[in-house]
Structure 1
Amino acid sequence: MLEEKNDNLPLADGVNPETETNTIVEAINSTNAEDSETASINENNHILLANYDELSLEELNTELENLLKNEKVTAIRDHVEGIKRSFLNKYNELIDEKRKVFLEENPEAFSTDFQYDLPAKNHFNSLYNNYKDQRNTHFKSIQDQLKTNLANRNQLIDELKDLVENTENYNAALKDIQQIRERWKNAGPIPKDNYNHVWNNFHFHLERFYDQLHLDREARDIDFKNNLDQKQKVIERASILINEPDIRKAFRELQTLHRIWKEEIGPVAKEYREEIWHKFSEITKQLHSKRESLQNEIREREELNLAKKNELIAAINSISTNKFNSHNDWQNAIKEIEQLRTQFFSAGRVPAEQSEDTWATFKNATRNFNVLKNNFYKDIKKEQQDNLVKKQALIEKAKSLAESTDYNTTTPAMKKIQEEWKHVGHVPRKFSDSLWKEFKQTCNSYFDRLHSERNQEMEVEMANFDRKKEYLESLKDFELTGDHKTDLDAIKVHIENWKGLGIVPQTRRHIEGKFNKVLDALFDKLSLSKKEAELVKFNNKIEHLIESNDGRRLQNETVFVQRKVEEIQSEIFQLENNVQFISNAKADNPLVKEINKNIERHKDELNLWKEKLVQLRNINKND
């Protein structure tokens, strides 16, 4: 309007006050023009924006569903877009994780083979499509209404123009002007591109009318006074807004007051125009200053939030540079990353121009950590898969031996399998319990049967022990007749009888030593040659080992006899060699005679051990 002027007083910083005021007012007018068009598209219900980054996918769906159910579609655009951004960020991150797991578990698969259906995503798609359908329907009706309102306002301008140009009695036309102004006031929003042009055109013809109304000063002055009262009320309301704690709310109402001042209230008398505009513009500048201070505070907080989020991202990157070589180390690192992620999501908003870059940097940092983590567990899974194959092979080996009755051979083999099992590492968790259960059942089946038979054998062996103890007691009454052959045959009968009584428990085998002592005493009384007695006792010992099925001791005995044969042969060779080095040695030389005597004694001993070795080898051949 033409009356909205200011004194051209320079500001302290060199800015022209009228220029500053015009800049602020133009900004408000521009906002009002846009709001005029979009008022019905985006109603300003001031629904509080939640921190959607802190909500889960299901909670975001619930929030969106409640908005669609309880609020107007024109009032929830910012909320819906915030929910959409947070939902897709979380969903895409989840899908990335699921895809990595799929590819790790299916190394032959391609990325395109991955499919994952998330009910929460389907629900979100349905809700968001519902929102778009409602909004598009509403938007189309609004566009049609804006065009209709524009046509109505142009019609009012034409009526006003015709009234100004063709009226002879302006006093009588004043009533028509008031009707046109009331209709203008209620004509509704128009496209923002037409806002200033249409408003200026209307007020141009309205001022023409008032300029010509000087013929009836009384009527004009009444209208001026009424307009002045309304503008003073606007100023009073604006002055109250200075103390409004919610500066956002105050500035939104200031925009409304500017719209009312410009669109709904007519001109005032010239002597008041600059005065009231100055008051209104000063209040506007004060509110604008408070708004800028608030925006600066918000900006500072957002900058602090940005710095904090950057620190959290740096901490994530720092953890990713560490080398973790154990499951526990990685689990601790994962907990740290989760704590940092939680702090990131609760750190608050950052400057809008930094939001996307910050999110992308954060996502890249967490992705890098996850790549390292997944590579580690991929190696672990490969090792666990190898361990799975090893344990399955041990189970099959144990099963192949579980029904064996060759306990002496099978038992050490089964124990070896159990020992190998202990040294095989972890297997995939889903197989761990079932594998152990199968292995344990297989081993228990064998050892339960072994213990059962061993218990039965123990009962038999204890009975044998009792009989041998009685038999040993009866030998105290045995006496030799003095006939060599008769006594030797009798001793051999006792040996056979003793063997026929069977083996005794391991813990009772000392009774065999007692029997051998009785035999030694009997052989000493007989006039047997040393060789003959030694072979009889050796044969008795070997047969006892055979009956006891003690293959290990039998094998040890064979090794011992072989070594004795080798030792005696070596001694004979050394003695014969020594004789050759005695110069001028004669057969009747005492030293030579002693050496030859030793050689003969060693040869007799060698023959004895060779016969023992023959007996052992014959046993091995028969086995």
Structure 2
Amino acid sequence: MMDTQDTNLPLEEGKLEEEKNVPEVSEVKTEETPEETTEVNTSTATNLQSKQEVIDRLKEISADAENAHKQELDSLKQTFYKIHKTEQDAAKKKFLEDGGTEEAFVPVTDTYESEFKSIMAAIKDKRSAFNAELEKQKEENLQTKLGIIEKLKELVNYPEDVNKAYNDFKKLQQEWNEIKQVPQAKVNDLWKNYQVYVEKFYDIIKINNEFRDYDFKKNLEIKARLCEAAEKLANEQDVVSAFHQLQKLHQEFRDTGPVAKELRDEIWARFKAASTEVNRRHQQHFEALKEAEQRNLDEKTVICEIVETTEYSELNSFNAWESKTQEIIALQNKWKTIGFAPQKMNIKIFERFRAACDEFFKKKGEFFKSIKEGMNENLEKKKALCEKVEALKDSTDWKETSEILTKLQKEWKTIGPVSKKYSDPIWKRFIDACDYFFDQKNKATSSLHSVEVENMQKKKALIEKLATIDESMEANEASNLVREIIKEWNTVGHVPFKEKDKLYKQFHELVDKQFDRLNVNAANRKLNNFRSNISNVTGQGEKGGMQTLYREREKLVRAYEAMKNEIKTYENNLGFFSSSSKKGNSLVTELNRKVEKLKADLELTLEKIKVIDESAKQ
């Protein structure tokens, strides 16, 4: 089974890169516990673009597996499985697009993965064997150095010929220095025991002063040089490199023999002071890194909480899901700009974020799957309505059939959307059948023309009445009169088609003039104008009027839903700003202003829809 940290976020609009495995900030080591550490640059692994490139790099590492670094191996593993997951997602997506089901999808066997696992296993075996041999060698070195200490004890406790003892001592020193690594847990105690007997040899054994003084002098020169080198490290820009160099200087300082007794404390104090400064800078460097990593963890935690608290119950439309998807993608892009968290939490916080994103896109997929199923049901319902209308289109029972078709048209509006592929064809089929019937009806009911002429005279009278309103009339009274005229205008039926635009223009120019004078609310004016427009549109007859009304209503409903989603987005953004930032008051004010404007437009749009519904009932 693939390890979870090897997978990638299954995003639709772009993948979120896998977190790199970063070395945890280590504690600063004192001058008494030098330890070799190596930093590995994992950027090469993350820049590889194909599985073959990853495998080629692994083959290079396998040739020298003993010196391979775990960080680079981890990074190569993550890169390989990120590419692997991307390919699997693409194959699955194509499978589903070709008509397959998610349950039936079976990933293709990947030969690259088999080769990858084989090479990784080989590297692991080589490294295990090497480490076992290294530990064995360290233990042997420990025993050898313990033997040297025992020989030093004999030289100190049972001195014989001074010259011979001195030569034996120098040989033991050289042998000691040639032996390198021992188990880390034994380093300090071993060195302290060794140093005790080295100093005893110089202090207790009464060797030739000339030999002793010469050794003391040479050792002092070496240690003075080491002090200078340590002091220069205080100005080294790369504090990590300075710290590692200091460990090597400490080892050399230890391996160097003693100096004259009266100078020992002084030379050690100088070296220790230089070491303290390097260690202090190293400690500050890693403390700063820890603080930065903790800040990064806090930021990433906030992002996780935002995704995890998504209100899925409110995402019930295409626009709502699309808006939320863009918000999630923005958070993913923000995530990429944030640095690493502490190593013990870095993978965990990434897995938490990925799980939240997986959950979001899983639910999005479920929603669209259910919508698709619902669209198929809607399509079948609309097909059934088409069949009913087509069966009635040749009817000559004008009144009864008109009522039935009107009901079917209303029923059509209650059915949800269908796939875009079928939306226009099924609508055209439905409306063509309706239009055919109403065309035949209009031809058979041309006597309505006389009624339209009568309506024209009524509207002309209303225009005249509107034009003769006395400007000295009190504002409220005049406003009420204008509204009564408008209301009466809307109750008057259709006029001859050729005259409708002219009358409409005359009437509304006078209405606008009166409203401008009376300073009537702009929204009310728009609504009144819209009522007049709708009244004018219905003058086109059953065919053109109803068709135009339905299209206008669908356009308003779409606008209404879009404004609701836009208001929701703004309100979500306002909530985000208030919870994560104390700044940007001007931006918050502007967003509030936009929300209020949208709410006013939303109310006006709802009123317009009501006007259309009332007109359709008449």
Under a length normalisation based on structure 2, what TM-score does the superposition of the two structures give? Answer: 0.51
Q: Which residue of 2 aligns with 1:188?
A: 180
User: 1 CA distance for matches of 2:344 and 2:370?
Assistant: 41
1:29 to 21, 27, 32: 32
Q: Which residue of 1 aligns with 2:54?
A: 61
Q: CA deviation at 1:153?
A: 2.1
The alignment of Structure 1 onto Structure 2 pairs a total of residues equal to: 381
Q: CA deviation at 1:282?
A: 1.1
Q: CA deviation at 1:86?
A: 6.4
User: 1 CA distance for matches of 2:54 and 2:328?
Assistant: 26
CA offsets, 1:524-580, max 9 Å, x none? xxxxxxxxxxxxxxxxxxxxxxxxxxxxxxxxxxxxxxxxxxxxxxxxxxxxxxxxx
Are 1:390 and 1:424, in contact at CA under 8 Å, matched by a contact in 2? Answer: no
Q: CA deviation at 1:374?
A: 2.1
Is residue 366 of structure 2 the alignment partner of residue 375 of structure 1? yes
Counterpart secondary structure, 2:314? coil
Q: Using a 3 Å threshold, how does the CA distance of structure 1 residues 72 and 121 change in structure 2: closer, same or farther?
A: closer
User: 2 CA distance for matches of 1:196 and 1:221?
Assistant: 28
Q: Which residue of 2 aligns with 1:286?
A: 277
Which protein has greater RCO, CA pairs closer than 8 Å, 6+ apart? Answer: 2
Q: CA deviation at 1:360?
A: 3.3
Are 1:324 and 1:330, in contact at CA under 8 Å, matched by a contact in 2? Answer: yes
CA offsets, 1:376-419, max 9 Å, x none? 1221343366579899999xx9xxxxxxxxxx9xxxxxxxxxx9
User: 1 CA distance for matches of 2:351 and 2:28?
Assistant: 38
Q: CA deviation at 1:249?
A: 0.1
Q: Which residue of 2 aligns with 1:228?
A: 220
Is residue 155 of structure 2 the alignment partner of residue 155 of structure 1? no
Q: CA deviation at 1:320?
A: 5.4
Q: CA deviation at 1:248?
A: 0.2
CA offsets, 1:165-196, max 9 Å, x none? 44411223212211211111111211223323
Is residue 346 of structure 2 the alignment partner of residue 349 of structure 1? no
2:287 to 289, 292, 296: 296
Under a length normalisation based on structure 1, what TM-score does the superposition of the two structures give? Answer: 0.51
Paired amino acid for 1:29: E
Q: CA deviation at 1:109?
A: 5.1
Mean alpha-carbon deviation: is it higher for 143-152 or for 253-262? 143-152
Q: Quick one: percent identity of the two aligned structures?
A: 26
Is residue 289 of structure 2 the alignment partner of residue 324 of structure 1? no
Within a 5 Å distance, the mapping from 1:182-331 to structure 2 comes to: 182-262=174-254, 264-317=255-308, 321=312, 323-327=314-318, 329-331=320-322
Are 2:34 and 2:250, in contact at CA under 8 Å, matched by a contact in 1? Answer: no
Counterpart secondary structure, 1:242? helix
Within a 5 Å distance, the mapping from 1:469-618 to structure 2 comes to: none
1:47 to 40, 43, 64: 40
Are 2:141 and 2:180, in contact at CA under 8 Å, matched by a contact in 1? Answer: yes
Q: Using a 3 Å threshold, how does the CA distance of structure 1 residues 194 and 87 change in structure 2: closer, same or farther?
A: same
Are 1:102 and 1:114, in contact at CA under 8 Å, matched by a contact in 2? Answer: no
Q: Using a 3 Å threshold, how does the CA distance of structure 1 residues 89 and 351 change in structure 2: closer, same or farther?
A: farther
User: 1 CA distance for matches of 2:316 and 2:53?
Assistant: 38
Q: Which residue of 2 aligns with 1:174?
A: 166
Q: Using a 3 Å threshold, how does the CA distance of structure 1 residues 425 and 209 change in structure 2: closer, same or farther?
A: same
Within a 5 Å distance, the mapping from 1:443-454 to structure 2 comes to: none
Are 1:64 and 1:127, in contact at CA under 8 Å, matched by a contact in 2? Answer: no
Are 2:375 and 2:416, in contact at CA under 8 Å, matched by a contact in 1? Answer: no
User: 2 CA distance for matches of 1:59 and 1:302?
Assistant: 33
Are 1:214 and 1:220, in contact at CA under 8 Å, matched by a contact in 2? Answer: no
The structure that has the greater radius of gyration is 1
Mean alpha-carbon deviation: is it higher for 344-353 or for 382-391? 382-391
Q: CA deviation at 1:251?
A: 0.5
User: 2 CA distance for matches of 1:94 and 1:311?
Assistant: 31
Unaligned runs of 5+ in 2: 1-26, 388-393, 395-408, 410-414, 430-618
CA offsets, 1:63-104, max 9 Å, x none? 953762687642422222344456668867998999999999
Q: Which residue of 2 aligns with 1:500?
A: none
User: 2 CA distance for matches of 1:135 and 1:393?
Assistant: 72
User: 1 CA distance for matches of 2:266 and 2:260?
Assistant: 11
Q: Using a 3 Å threshold, how does the CA distance of structure 1 residues 348 and 227 change in structure 2: closer, same or farther?
A: same
Q: Using a 3 Å threshold, how does the CA distance of structure 1 residues 186 and 269 change in structure 2: closer, same or farther?
A: same
CA offsets, 1:213-245, max 9 Å, x none? 334122111111111111111101001101100
Counterpart secondary structure, 2:268? helix
Q: Using a 3 Å threshold, how does the CA distance of structure 1 residues 215 and 52 change in structure 2: closer, same or farther?
A: closer
CA offsets, 1:440-467, max 9 Å, x none? xxx9xxxxxxxxxxxxxxxxxxxxxxxx
User: 2 CA distance for matches of 1:301 and 1:67?
Assistant: 35
Is residue 81 of structure 2 the alignment partner of residue 81 of structure 1? no
Aligned-residue CA RMSD (Å): 4.9
Are 1:149 and 1:187, in contact at CA under 8 Å, matched by a contact in 2? Answer: yes
Are 1:238 and 1:254, in contact at CA under 8 Å, matched by a contact in 2? Answer: yes
User: 1 CA distance for matches of 2:60 and 2:326?
Assistant: 35
User: 1 CA distance for matches of 2:28 and 2:324?
Assistant: 55
Q: Using a 3 Å threshold, how does the CA distance of structure 1 residues 68 and 383 change in structure 2: closer, same or farther?
A: farther
Counterpart secondary structure, 2:228? helix
Q: Using a 3 Å threshold, how does the CA distance of structure 1 residues 100 and 315 change in structure 2: closer, same or farther?
A: farther
Counterpart secondary structure, 1:30? coil
User: 2 CA distance for matches of 1:108 and 1:26?
Assistant: 54
Counterpart secondary structure, 1:29? coil
Are 1:61 and 1:123, in contact at CA under 8 Å, matched by a contact in 2? Answer: no
